[in-house]
Structure 1
Amino acid sequence: MEAERFGCIIVGGGIAGLSAAMVLARHEVPFLLIERGAYSGAKNVSGGVLWGTDLARLVPEYWNDPNASFERFINHRRLTFLDEQSAFSIDFKSSHYDTPPYMGVTVLRAIFDRWLADKVQEAIDRSACADASFLAFDVLVERLLVEDGRVVGVEAGGERFYADCVILAEGVNNLLTRQIGLQAEYVPADHMAVGVKEVLRFDRRVLEDRFQLSERSGMANEFIGAITDGVEGGGFLYTNRTTVSIGLVLGMADLRRKRKKPYELLDRFKAHPVVADMIRGGEVVEYSAHVVSTGDMRAMPRELYADGVLVAGEAANLLLNAGKAIQGMDFAMHSGILAAETVLEARRVGDFSAATLRRYRERLEQSYVLQNMRNFQAAVRLLHEPVMYERMPRLVCDLGREFFRVENRPAPKLRQILREVVRRHSSLPELLKLTYRAWKAL
């Protein structure tokens, strides 16, 4: 019996894979998407903010869908520096962000990915190739099929499937990307992190009152400082409809060097007096951990394309945390879209060689994904230096304590307070040097 052949095979049913599938379905390209989970999202533990407006491209006016699975839109941003007892926040909230398409929405991946897969299936059903495109779940892709140096298909579930092109959206454990030599066998632990997260349930009215939310508005709060017990990393808290996602992203190598356990550090974070007030009364309904890239471009595969194959999303280690936001899901979505558009172009010219598929890399370089990653590499590396998650948060919190202190004695001028606080934690030349580096990095 002749093996089945598709226009494209997508490995992975996460955000990158589903985004590519949506584009292909709308352009009536027969494809096979293979996901090892029982459904899209079954293997995803991430829950955070999907930034940007690409979701509106894939699902126009998704906010009007009564079944839309986003949790809340973000109109409130907060960056918090912590020492052992205090918090100093940069806080911004604006009704400018209340109008769709939203700047960002919080999602729970097990719910969101399943909804997006349903939308892809609807697009398949409306297409001319409804009988030739499939979403296959609970199937593991064992290996890529390579002939004369070109990827021609996959072996999955004991069967072989062939295609003009394969899009690898397999996630951070990118074994297939490694099989064809695009990724080094082992990425240095210095470029990888462990994300650990809990989802806490609240009464909806309690949650909205506590975080000053109305209707479907939401808040994204990032944390830097004493919460990690000297381990490289930071924390986050995102509001969902009736829950909050709270967690840490911790440097893998630093965890190992300092012999710390992620869940113990998460408990320490939750016990911080400021954080404890924020989550008081919440019921833990989910715990998860996940390996992620730190956003250092040295963790990326040596290339994102080869003959017959493209690499998208987490498999390409596309992520950025430069202190402004943790961007990963939006990078996955955009790279999936660009990968599918490259497949469409290759179909038009009838050439799936690396010479044509290199347009994917060019598209990424022209997009905000790789431009942001390149432009903010200095910020990524600065954030992972001890001064940024140890001394700087303590300095900022000490400054806040002294500035807002009111006593029955003459109050010092701000310049006197600043001089004394800097002397305790650093020196003026060092602070000026760090400020200059941060200015250049951001």
Structure 2
Amino acid sequence: MDEKFDCIIVGAGVAGLAAAMTLAKNNMKFLLIEKGEFPGSKNVSGGVLWGNDLNKLVPNYWEEDDSGWDRFINHRRLTFMDEQSSFSVDFKSSHFNEPPYTGVVVLRSKFDKWLAGKVEEAIAESDFAMDSFVAPNILVEEVLEEDGKVVGIRTGEDKFYADSVILAEGVNNLLTRQVGLQDKYVPADHMLTGVKEIIRFDQDVLENRFQLNGKSGMSNEFVGHATNGVEGGGFLYTNKDTVSIGLVLGLKDLREKEQTPYDILNHFKKHPAVADMIRGGEVVEYSAHVVSSGDKRVMPEKLYKAGLMVCGEAANLLMNAGKAIQGMDYAMRSGILAAEAITKAKEKGDFGESAMKAYQDTLEDSYVMKDINNFQDAVHLLHDPFMIDKMPNLLCDFGRNFFSIKNEPTKKARNMFSDSVKKHASYWDLVKIGAKGAKAL
């Protein structure tokens, strides 16, 4: 492997694999490097992959018997919680039953390995079947630069050269920092920690409990008492015979309130609404890792330099505006766009800074950055203390009154709501949060 590659990709997560698949389909010579034993071996987490880009990479993926996804999402739920109650916005539709699905649940250890296999198949069908490689168990220690241009990477004593490098190294973006595109220090108030458990059930029990049919699935986000007063929220996704349940928590707020993620997760699991959902299950995995808050201020200003591009979590491409946690779809699209920019650069024989800038230009014009730019106010709104404390308490109090049937005269719903507002907030609070919501959404 002494010859120069068209591209070296660092990291075989969703972004890196999407880039590799795109390069292989465009008949490019590349090296995909992964520090784990195999793609996905270091990922015990998962979630929902939204959108249709997976179908572009692997057409008709749903027809495969042994595919990398567990269930498609046709049931969405947003739940507000106080100490004893929950109030949910619930939506289920058969419109989501037809492929290509708008969201599929994946476990990354399984999904990444499967997608890497598809990359290998695409390599075998290309002109560079003997010259392109997926190389696991390799740690990249340095990005090589000459005369202001990235020319390759170093791993131990070995150096590999390429016309371009894609950094898809994940949120711990040490190489992105090394080349000067990310600040050496990112404030804790822009970062979250995600904690998750995988809980196994008998598949029939899981499908009956969550009203699943075939490969249908549910995603549930939680706001309020789920985090025991710490900034953040909870989630639950149904896999094939397990559920993924967990929290995303503000690092700064965790430290200031002297709480631990594991204790808050146990607190969340004991809530009456959640305890009923996971009753009888067996915890088979626990994981934790740092994620971006979705605040654009944490993103590198530039995602490129001569011969190099940054995509996926390494670029802090993630957003949670309350409707869904989006990260894997952003990673996939950014990997595709980076690879397409390299394909065009090779056609022109120019891998300089302007050619790499074309990647960020297309990213800015894609739904990824348009959503991140348009919904920054929603990201900030979701982390507003009112949304974590007062709003869930108010809604649950109203729900208890509205759905209670007593042997006494019943108040009008508007009077019940007024009582709950006075008990937990004020109409001025609602006016302010309503104005923020109107602007955000």
TM-score (structure 2 length as normaliser): 0.99
Match of 1:288 in 2: 287
Q: Match of 1:174? A: 173
Q: Can you list the C-alpha shifts for 1:102-138, whole angstroms capped at 9, x where unaligned?
A: 0100000000000000000000011111011000000
Aligned mates of 2:65, 2:283 — CA distance in 1: 27
Identity of aligned residues (%): 62
Correspondence list, 1:27-426, <5 A: 27-426=26-425
The 2-side partners of 1:415 and 1:356 are apart by 59
Secondary structure of the corresponding residue to residue 138 of structure 2: coil
Moved more, 432-441 or 305-314: 432-441
- Please give the alpha-carbon distance, in whole angstroms, between the structure 1 residues aligned to 2:340 and 2:45: 26
Size of the aligned set, in residue pairs, is 441
| CA–CA separation in structure 2 for the residues paired with 1:302 and 1:179 | 15
The answer to which of 348-357 and 87-96 deviates more is 348-357
- SS of 1:411's equivalent in the other structure is coil
- How far, CA to CA, are the matches of 1:158 and 1:204 in structure 2? 49
**Partner Cα separation in structure 2 for residue 248 and residue 226 of structure 1:** 12
The residue identity in structure 2 corresponding to 1:324 is K
Unpaired runs of 5+ residues, structure 2, are: none
Q: CA deviation at 1:9?
A: 0.2
Deviates more, 1:235-244 or 1:39-48: 39-48
Q: Secondary structure at the match of 1:28?
A: coil
Code of the aligned partner of 2:250:
G
Counterparts of 2:387 and 2:259, CA distance in 1: 19
Find the aligned partners of 1:5 and 1:320 in 2 and give their Cα distance: 36
**Alignment partner of 1:417: what SS?**
helix
Comparing 81-90 and 352-361, the one that deviates more: 352-361
Distance in 2 (CA, whole Å) between partners of 1:13 and 1:159 is 19
Residues in 2 aligned to 1:136 and 1:259: alpha-carbon distance in whole angstroms? 42
Please give the per-residue CA displacement for 1:248-276, whole angstroms capped at 9, x wherever unaligned. 00001111111110011000000101100
C-alpha separation in 2, matches of 1:234 and 1:263: 14
Counterpart CA distance in 2 for 1:120 and 1:352 is 24
CA distance in 1, matches of 2:10, 2:44: 18
Misfit runs of 4+, over 2 Å = none
Q: For residue 207 of structure 1, what is the amino acid of its counterpart? A: L
Q: TM-score, normalised by structure 1?
A: 0.99
Give the secondary-structure state (helix, strand or coil) at the position aligned to 2:164.
strand
2:23 alignment partner in structure 1 = 24
Residue 108 of structure 1 aligns with an amino acid whose one-letter code is: L
Separation of aligned partners in 1, 2:254 and 2:161:
42
CA separation in 2, counterparts of 1:31 and 1:167? 10
Structure-2 separation of matches of 1:229 and 1:98: 36
CA distance in 2, matches of 1:226, 1:327: 22
Give distance in 1, aligned partners of 2:176 and 2:301: 10
Which secondary structure does the structure 2 equivalent of 1:100 belong to?
coil
Does the CA contact (< 8 Å) of 2:44 and 2:285 recur in 1?
no
State the shift of 1:140 in Å.
0.1
- Give the Cα separation in 2 of the matches to 1:104 and 1:17: 20
Structure 1 CA distance for aligned equivalents of residues 404 and 438 of structure 2: 29
CA–CA distance in structure 2, aligned partners of residues 39 and 157 of structure 1: 19
Contact 2:195 / 2:287 at 8 angstroms: preserved in 1? yes
8 Å CA contact 1:154–1:162 kept in 2: the answer is: yes
CA distance in structure 2 between the partners assigned to 1:433 and 1:291 by the alignment = 32
Letter in 1 for 2:283: V
**Unpaired runs of at least 5, structure 1:** none
1:342 & 1:182 partners in 2: Cα distance?
A: 19
Q: CA deviation at 1:157?
A: 3.5
SS at match of 2:197: strand
d(CA) in 2 for partners of 1:347, 1:273? 58
Q: Using the alignment, how far apart are the partners of 2:65 and 2:419 within structure 1?
A: 56
Q: Distance in 2 between matches of 1:415 and 1:387?
A: 21
The secondary structure found in structure 2 opposite 1:397 is helix
Secondary structure in 2 matching 1:78: strand
Residue 69 of structure 1 and its aligned partner are, at CA, apart by: 1.6
Q: d(CA) in 2 for partners of 1:59 and 1:135?
A: 18
Partners of 1:226 and 1:83 lie apart in 2 by: 5
- Match of 1:141, SS state, is coil
Partners of 1:199 and 1:245 within 8 A in 2: yes
* 1:364-385 deviation digits (Å, cap 9, x = unpaired): 1111000000000001011112
> Given that residues 222 and 236 in structure 1 are in contact (C-alpha distance below 8 angstroms), is that contact kept between their aligned partners in structure 2?
yes
